Structure 1
Amino acid sequence: MSLSIYGIDLAKHSFSIHGEDATGKVLIHKTISRSKVLATFANIPPALIGIEACGASHYWARKLTKLGHTVKIMASKYVAPFRTGAKNDLNDAAAICVAVTRPSTRFVKIKSAEQQAILMLHRARDNWVHERTALLNQIRAIMAEFGIITPKGRHALQSMIPLVLEDADNQLPDLARAIIADCYEHLCCINQRISDQEHFFDMLISRSHNAKKIMKVAGIGPITATAIIASVGKGEQFDKGRDFAAWLGLVPTQYSTGGKPRLSLWCKSLVERRGLKRAIVALAAKNARIVWSLLYHDTEYAPMNN
């Protein structure tokens, strides 16, 4: 390899850097401040730079790529085997420098700022959904303490709360009624925030041909589609659909027949043979492979006729 190789251990304020030339001669082995990173690499000829995946790794990968360098992001599990000596930032940088050249190391595709923003939208929505669930459980528990049993399901509970607040005969203490009213007001605000964010998903879908394409697969809606596009782009980092399914954590046993069975019949048979939960995982894995194929090969989804 003719390029010089560098490993950077990222941090908030100080970055440790280890660099070697093509012969293995150490070019740099020191810690510098955050403000000097770009200036340092601006004066270095195009090189191969390894970065351990972390919160700021995509940002720095984009910045260093603009300087003409080839940047690769890897998970920490690929770095640990090459660390020698005590665990410290400089030794980590040296280990990254070694790991980035190994053919067995799997790299993370660098995300654009737009992809990161979409994933931020997903995380924000998840936080609001979790808060809403906790708030509903709290309201349900408060009512139960005063003998008011609520129905199952979010929508049924939300519809019942105003009726409970307006019922003067349920012997609910004024203080408890006020607390429930405050909780309900906050619940309405959370619902509005989630609704606003879901409008963003619709807007993103309208601008993305790939997202529209994979939404044709049964079971994939705007939230799943935008999450996939933001996370993997066109799926070029995977060699085949099974790799993508494994990356998602879906590793079911493969089932197939000589013909082309209908999806609904395939699912029904799978549920009968393996149970509902395994069938859900298998279907998710099947969809993941279909999605990868659509993105990677830039094809259109052709569902089987029912």
Structure 2
Amino acid sequence: MNSMAVGVDIAKSVFQVHYVDQETGEIVNKPIKRAKFLEFFVNRAPCLIGMEACGGAHHWARQLVKMGHEVKLMAAEFVKAFNIRNKNDAADARAIWLAVQQPGKAVAVKTEMQQAVLALHRMRQQLIKFRTMQINGLRGSLTEYGEVMSKSRAKLDQEIPEVLGRVAERLPAVVIDTLREQWNGLVKLDEQVAQIERRMREWKKGDKAVKAVSEIPGVGLLTATAAVAMMGDARAFSSGREFVAWAGLVPKQTGSGGKVNLHGISKRGDTYLRTLLIHGARSVLTHAKEPGPWVEQLSKRRPKNVVIVALANKMARMIWAVLANDRPYQKDYAGVKPV
């Protein structure tokens, strides 16, 4: 592998490339149009290419890896530390070039299938957001006319026909028809969400990793598919704790002079995955008949929310262990520390 490092700042139309020519020592920092980007690297000796893990980065990384290059995707906040003074494409490419040569955890390059599953999650999340906004809009509109709806979606569906009938005596028909259309639109959003979940279940049937992870208590369809897709290659993390730290489920640390203080969870990494893990842990505590002796003992000593986060941490470690070691989940499995 050629030791030459290249920093690439990708964009919509023009990419910026920064490197030092090993033969002449010339510092090269130049823009390349999108259509000519792959052509620029196709005849070059294999080198280390650094990019920020942003929109389109995984696609370009896959293409460059096929050419024999080594690609290192990095979090934007890691690159930001190397950007001094001005914020422009040339400075960003130089910062990426500096960052790619430093030791640090790279973002695993995702496959197209993994990106497709994450796209389903994002679209489902967006539909749920639209549905919540529409429900709140209906409640607010009816409150303006003295009709306060009960909480929960089920209560809304139960009460709204009678409420619309009452306000129809006082309001123009155009308003009532519009409110009724908004209410009927909720059913369409429900169907779209259900259709996306059906597609996720279809993927689960044919994916060995998702099926294995789904056996862990508290890991359902959404958590299993999101964890497998976001993690990419489980071996990119050296341990389960490293994966949990990446997910933001470990204490934030501050300290000086040899004294380290532990605070609440760092909340770094992907908020969506962390939310799913915490909801899964909460469901275990609420619905499981036997959550386990470890959870029962911890519940006696710590507040409920602390127990939930600790259980989510443990679930994330189990997900990593199942995927990294390619073995099925075993309820009472005890790991052995290497000698």
Offset, 1:94: 2.1
CA deviation profile, 1:58-81 (whole Å, cap 9, x unmatched): 111111112211111111222233
Query: 1:208 — aligned with what?
Result: 207
Between Structure 1 and Structure 2, how many residues are aligned?
Answer: 295
Off by >4 Å, runs of 4+ in structure 1: 21-24, 168-172
Query: 1:258 — aligned with what?
Result: none
In 1, the alpha carbon distance for the partners of 2:320 and 2:218 equals 15
Which has the larger displacement, 28-37 or 42-51? Answer: 28-37
Query: 1:51 — aligned with what?
Result: 51
Q: 1:168 to 1:86 in 2, by over 3 A?
A: closer
CA deviation profile, 1:276-299 (whole Å, cap 9, x unmatched): 222221111110001110000111
2:91 matches 1:63: no
Q: Please list, as runs of the form range in 1=range in 2, the aligned pairs for 1:155-304 lying within 5 A after superposition.
A: 155-165=154-164, 167=165, 171=169, 173=171, 174-251=173-250, 263-304=291-332
Give the aligned residue type for 1:160: E
Offset, 1:156: 2.6
| RMSD between superposed Cα atoms in Å | 2.4
2:35 matches 1:35: yes
Q: 1:170 to 1:90 in 2, by over 3 A?
A: closer
Offset, 1:228: 0.8
Query: 1:58 touches 1:111 (CA, 8 Å); kept in 2?
Result: yes
Query: What TM-score comes out, normalization by structure 2 length?
Result: 0.80
Q: Please list, as runs of the form range in 1=range in 2, the aligned pairs for 1:55-134 lying within 5 A after superposition.
A: 55-84=55-84, 86-103=86-103, 105-134=104-133
| Residue segments in structure 1 that go unaligned for 5+ positions in a row | 254-261
Offset, 1:229: 1.0
Offset, 1:21: 4.9
Query: 2:2 touches 2:46 (CA, 8 Å); kept in 1?
Result: no
Query: 1:18 touches 1:26 (CA, 8 Å); kept in 2?
Result: no
Which SS does the other structure have where 2:227 is aligned?
Answer: helix
In 2, the alpha carbon distance for the partners of 1:16 and 1:292 equals 36
In 2, the alpha carbon distance for the partners of 1:55 and 1:169 equals 48
In 2, the alpha carbon distance for the partners of 1:184 and 1:84 equals 53
Which has the larger displacement, 84-93 or 272-281? Answer: 84-93
Which SS does the other structure have where 1:107 is aligned?
Answer: coil
In 1, the alpha carbon distance for the partners of 2:169 and 2:297 equals 53
Query: 2:2 touches 2:48 (CA, 8 Å); kept in 1?
Result: no
Which SS does the other structure have where 2:203 is aligned?
Answer: helix
Query: 1:259 — aligned with what?
Result: none
Q: Percent identity?
A: 36
Which has the larger displacement, 171-180 or 108-117? Answer: 171-180
Give the aligned residue type for 1:203: E
Q: 1:128 to 1:62 in 2, by over 3 A?
A: same
Offset, 1:15: 1.1
Which SS does the other structure have where 2:46 is aligned?
Answer: coil
In 2, the alpha carbon distance for the partners of 1:188 and 1:116 equals 28
Query: 1:3 touches 1:22 (CA, 8 Å); kept in 2?
Result: no
CA deviation profile, 1:4-34 (whole Å, cap 9, x unmatched): 2111111111111112356892363211211
Query: 2:52 touches 2:73 (CA, 8 Å); kept in 1?
Result: yes
Offset, 1:230: 0.8
Which has the larger displacement, 172-181 or 52-61? Answer: 172-181
Which SS does the other structure have where 1:161 is aligned?
Answer: helix
In 2, the alpha carbon distance for the partners of 1:234 and 1:33 equals 31
Offset, 1:272: 4.2
